[in-house]
A and B are shown apart, each in its own frame.
Chain A
Amino acid sequence: MTTTINRPILLIEDNPVDIDLTLRAFSRRNLANPIEIARDGEEAVGWIARWEAGAPLPIVILLDLKLPRIDGLEVLRRFRDHEISKNLPVVVLTSSSEDRDIETAYNYHANSYIVKPVNFDKFTEVAAQIELYWCLLNQPPE
């Protein structure tokens, strides 16, 4: 448990408003884990090399699907292709509620799929639930 407290959350999100609101939502929860941010798909994929180089693995990855450069689903696919990241918990957090997106995400072994609520109160609630579940309840792989 001691290690998980220090492991970061990787937020892959391009929209600065969404990043700000997400960080605010998490900050309201007094989250202990650091939050790493990848602003596009390419940057997200770049994390694979960093993890392989010894960077601490995230306790959970929050992945938006609509990303510049590399699409979120593609990012997920690449994570799953690499030994280092294939078992990392990935929660898709997106505005899309398209059946096709949901289906594809799970095909790439997403661990969860959450639609971002527009209402900020609900969004805060979602952040709380994520933190509670993925950072406290869930036992991630080493």
Chain B
Amino acid sequence: MTQTNAPSPGKFTTDRQSQPWIFALVIALLILLTEQVIEHFAQRSIVEEEQAHVIVHLSTIRARLEGEVNSNLLLVQGLAAVIAAQPNMDQTEFARIAKNLTNKGNALRNIVGAPDMVASLLYPVAGNEAVLGLNYRTHPTQSAEAMRAMEQGKPIIAGPLELVQGGIGIIAREPVFIVEDPGIPPRPWGLISAVLDTDELYRVTGLDKVDHGLQLAIRGTDGTGADGPVFFGEPQVFQQTPVTLDVSLPSGSWQLAAMPAAGWGESDSTLVIVRILGVLIALAAAVAGYLLSQGNIRLTRTAEQLGNSEARLRTLLNTIPDLIWMKDPQGAYLFCNPRFEAIYGAKESEIRGKYDRDFIDASQADEIQKRDQTAIASSTPQTYEEWVVFSDDDHRELHETIKTPVYNNNAKLIGIMGIGRDITKRKQTEDELRKQKALLDRTSRLAKVGGWQFDVDTLEGYFTEEARRIHDLEPNASISLEKGLSFYTEESRPLIEQAVKNALEQGTPYDLELEMITATGAHKWIRAMGQPIKEGGKVVRVEGAIQDISDLHEAEAIARQRETVLDSVFQSIPDLFFLMDADGTIRDYRAQQTANLYVPPEAFLGKRMSEVLPPDVSQLFSQKLQLAFMQKKLITYEYDLAISGEVRRFESRLSKLPDSDQCIAIVRDITEQHHTHQALTQSEQRYRNLLENAPFPALLSDAENGTLLYCNRRVETLFGLNHDQGIGMLASVFYQNSANRQGYIDQLKAQQHIYDLELPMQTLDGKPFWALVSASLIDSVIFTAINDISDRKNMEAEITALNSQLEKRVLERTRELDAANKELETFTYSVSHDLKAPLRGIDGYSRLLQEQYDSLLDEEGQLFLGNVREGVEQMNRLINDLLAYSRMERRKLQNKLIDIRQQVEKILAESREQIQATGAIISVNVDDIYARADLDGFAIVVRNLLDNALKFSRDSQPPTIQISATRQEKSIILEIKDNGIGFDMQFHERIFEIFQRLQRAEDYPGTGVGLAIVAKAIKRMNGRVWAESTPGAGATFFVELAQ
């Protein structure tokens, strides 16, 4: 038993024989410590458990109490109602009714009726006779409560109180008023009282039972609640932090209190023993210490006493379920209890003096050692949680370990003591609790429900985590009623303020949907529920819940909006909308109200389709509805319905709603479309017939793949096809050169239409022909009309051949003509020279004869010579005119802009002498206009016309010539008007022909070439000349030239 690490005298040792006092001290300390620690742990969990247990029991008792009292009060109220109807009820009647009413009553002792406040009616009479004649107005103990009931006009619960008829009872008093006339206030009748036997009440409600292990107490006589005197149980219960519940009464309340019969945390008998023993042993140890300090050593006796103590302690240590051990500062075990032995699987004697590393691996041992040292260094107890493995059966326990450094009187460290307690179960429970709390938190968070409460006195409040989250508040922000209300919007705040006011003042709960702006400025819709909590008849706090219903609100808004949209949709489209159950019951119906066939909703809603549709249509509908439900896809069908004597056609579309047993139907009046469709079908048939019987070959082909889609009869004949053989055939087989077809398709795609394209084609058996093709591209289909133009082509070829022959001939003739022209030119040229030369000779020699042989000729000879020379002169003029005419025909013309006025004036100036000789008056009225013509040609024209006018107006008095020119749209017209002899209009064309004369040469000499030259010049200038005249009234010549 000798300590291995050599203790010196005076130091802590375990040798009880040599130094029992030290041991006693240690033990005393140890015991006190152990007891405190154990008790602490135990109480903490036990109190929680006990409270829950107490609440359960107490709630049951409260419910029974309230039930019993209120049910009896109801009986009384029933009786009061009967009495109000029969105010003059006698005892017999009263007893009969009361008997019926009280049959079921348990604690009800008797019922008393007191008209005019004097007890005169009673049931049962036996045992209660003393009550009769009691005057409530004057009774010393019962008067106050009775009169209060009458004054307030409300039932009250009085007592417990001493009964007139003996015993203790609780009385429910009901004032009775008689309403005789609605106009005047009710007349007081008196009082009805129901007396409850308290003992019976306690028994019925289970208050008197001792086996529930609770200490119960009730206070609040006459319903005064927590302020009233205690009338059941021990008053001190209220001083030991009991669980309390309020028992609600018609007027006021009682307060029910309970605690475990053994007190809080006292139920575990082990603890009681631990505590008692601990105290005792500590006391003993202290006595020992005291004796030692006095130096009055009666060692042996003390040792004996100590030995006894040790024996008792041993017993304790051996029975305690906790681990207890002590090590010296170096870690060697000083002692341990049997429970500890199980860890290392060794006896205490084997453990003592050994170290942890002797039993477990070094790292674990070091860990333990480190904690021990931490506790020593801190000089205070240190708590750890450690997993402990029991080597006897290898099971693990989580232990809460308290390590306490132990010092002797000289404050010298003597070791470290450890107490370990299995907290595995507690931990599990705690974990479970934590999990449940977390679950609750999560749940409330998911539901977005937060809790809150406000204290009425302080107006301070409390928000749960979720409530804070809903408000977007910091977790630690303080809450007050005012602050809580400040979050609501302007619209919502008056509502919540009024609700809170009502809750505070009248105890009214509320449940509102409100809009708020959170601390971070978010808009939310919330449901706020408030429940005022009364204590002692007044509201002490308001509790409630707050739920974020923004999503719900939004969903409702969306639903409302969808509703509106749905309605708007069916207001704006002509379709009818039905929502139906599987049996065809119409649940919703929408339609355009302005529609001609509008049927109001009441005609459909709630009815079945079979009720609103004729049988045949209804049967069809049922089949289709069944189909829609079975196939779960859109079912479309049509039906006819006679409406207002007119058969209309409808199209119905049925569609089952997903995840629902309902189906929607969209019904559309398609009468017009139906008619149109029929008309279209007829029209199509007509056009098909037209095409089929068209007198020309017509076909349809696919623009993309080139296959034939349709051929009419003429195509079949043309291409040599059997009936329907062509369809699907490639159109290219009918082309002599398939490249032609591609070009034709390209052109068609570019222009959409082709007219009269000539293509070399062939029949199915390869017989070539010429086709005249016209086609249109319509939606990638080509409509082609073909004509066989082989005959025409052949004729054209002939014509072409003839034409080329003809052209060749023309060319030859032209060449001949050119040669002839050339010849003529030479001829004219020669004439101009060769005709003139002899003339010149004739004239010359005639003149010489006249001059040199004058004397040899008589007068007649002279006349002859004069005539010869005149003939020569005439011949010369004729030749000159002919040359001019010829020149005009041959000369090259220039095409210039000519200023008409300028040219006319120039010509007049050149002819001034001639004009003056005739005495003619010439007026010129020419605008500032221009003509496109040859300058010389124009001058020749004007000169000749002027000569002409002067010649044929020479005998007028005076000759008057008006020259004017006007501008036309594209031309100008020059007009030369004289007042001469004129001409008969029958000659108006002939006068422009060469050598044509209307007058005799001796009257009006001339060659008859002048106007021919004019006509020739005008013709060559692409102009027009004409004349108008009346014989004897002058003539007007018109010249039209291009501008």
Contacts and interface: CB of A to CB of B under 8 A. Distances in A.
B872 A118 contact: yes
B843 interface: yes
A139 interface: no
B44 interface: no
A120 interface: yes
Interface residues of A, number: 20
Given A95-B833, A99-B887, A118 B847 contact: no
B793 interface: no
Contacts of B1032: none
Contacts of B836: 95, 116, 118
A138 interface: no
A67 B880 CA distance: 21
Interface string A27-63: 0000000000000000000000000000000000000
A136 B837 CA distance: 28
Interface in A62-111: 65-66, 94-99
A21 B832 contact: no
A18 B832 contact: no
Interface in B835-854: 836-841, 843-844, 846-848
Contact of B833 (A94, A117, A119): A94
Contact of A17 (B840, B847, B869): B840
Contact of B832 (A15, A97, A120, A121): A97
B841 A97 contact: no
B843 A119 contact: yes
Contacts of B880: 97
Contacts of A123: 840, 844
Interface string A12-23: 000101100100
Interface string A126-141: 0000000000000000
- Residue among B830, B843, B846 with the highest chain A CB neighbour number at 10 A: B843
Contacts of B883: 97-98
Interface string B792-836: 000000000000000000000000000000000000011011101
B690 to A, nearest CB: 72
Contacts of A117: 840
Contacts of B843: 118-120
A95 B844 CA distance: 14
A99 B829 CA distance: 11
B872 to A, nearest CB: 6
A18 B840 contact: yes
Interface string B888-929: 000100000000000000000000000000000000000000
Contacts of A120: 840, 843-844, 846-848
Contacts of A65: 833
Interface string B270-302: 000000000000000000000000000000000
Contacts of A24: 844, 848
Contacts of A96: 829, 832-833
A17 B832 contact: no
A95 B838 CA distance: 11
Nearest to A65: B833
Given A99-B891, A118-B876, A119-B843, A17 B829 contact: no
A20 to B, nearest CB: 8
Contacts of B839: 118
A98 B848 contact: no
Contacts of B234: none
A39 B887 CA distance: 29
Contacts of A15: 837
B878 to A, nearest CB: 11
B873 interface: yes
A66 B837 CA distance: 11
Contact of A21 (B834, B840, B872, B876): B840
Contacts of A98: 829, 832, 883, 887
Given A118-B872, A119-B843, A120-B843, A95 B848 contact: no
B939 to A, nearest CB: 14
A115 to B, nearest CB: 9
A85 B830 CA distance: 29
A21 B887 contact: no
A121 B873 CA distance: 12
A93 B837 CA distance: 12
Contacts of A21: 840-841, 844
Contacts of A121: 847
Contacts of A95: 832-833, 836-837, 840
Given A17-B840, A24-B848, A119 B832 contact: no
B247 to A, nearest CB: 151
A39 to B, nearest CB: 14
A18 B842 CA distance: 11
A104 B926 CA distance: 38
Nearest to B838: A17
A23 B178 CA distance: 182
Contact of A118 (B830, B840, B887, B891): B840
Residue picked from B836, B839, B846, B873, most chain A C-beta under 10 Å: B836
Q: Max chain B CB contacts within 10 Å: which of A21, A24, A117?
A: A21
A136 B887 CA distance: 36
B936 to A, nearest CB: 9
Contact of B837 (A18, A97, A99): A18
A111 B276 CA distance: 175
A8 B846 CA distance: 29
Contacts of B840: 17-18, 21, 95, 116-118, 120, 123
A135 B869 CA distance: 31
Nearest to A16: B841
A65 to B, nearest CB: 8
**Which residue, B837, B843, B891, has most C-beta atoms of chain A within 10 A?**
B837
A66 to B, nearest CB: 5
Nearest to A66: B833
B837 A17 contact: yes
Most buried by B among A21, A24, A96, A120: A120
Residue among A15, A95, A99, A117 with the most chain B CB within 10 A? Answer: A95
Contacts of B876: 118-119
**Most chain B CB atoms below 10 A, which of A66, A98, A116, A117:** A98
Contacts of B846: 120
Nearest to A14: B837
Nearest to A99: B891
Report the 7 A-B pairs with minimum CB-CB distance, sorted nearest first.
Answer: A17-B841, A120-B847, A120-B844, A95-B836, A118-B876, A21-B844, A66-B833
Interface of B: 829-830, 832-834, 836-841, 843-844, 846-848, 869, 872-873, 876, 880, 883, 887, 891
Interface of A: 15, 17-18, 21, 24, 65-66, 94-99, 116-121, 123
10 contacts: A17-B841, A18-B837, A21-B840, A21-B844, A24-B844, A95-B832, A95-B836, A96-B832, A118-B873, A119-B872
Given A17-B838, A24-B848, A95-B832, 10 more contacts: A17-B840, A18-B840, A97-B880, A98-B829, A98-B832, A116-B836, A118-B839, A119-B843, A120-B843, A123-B844
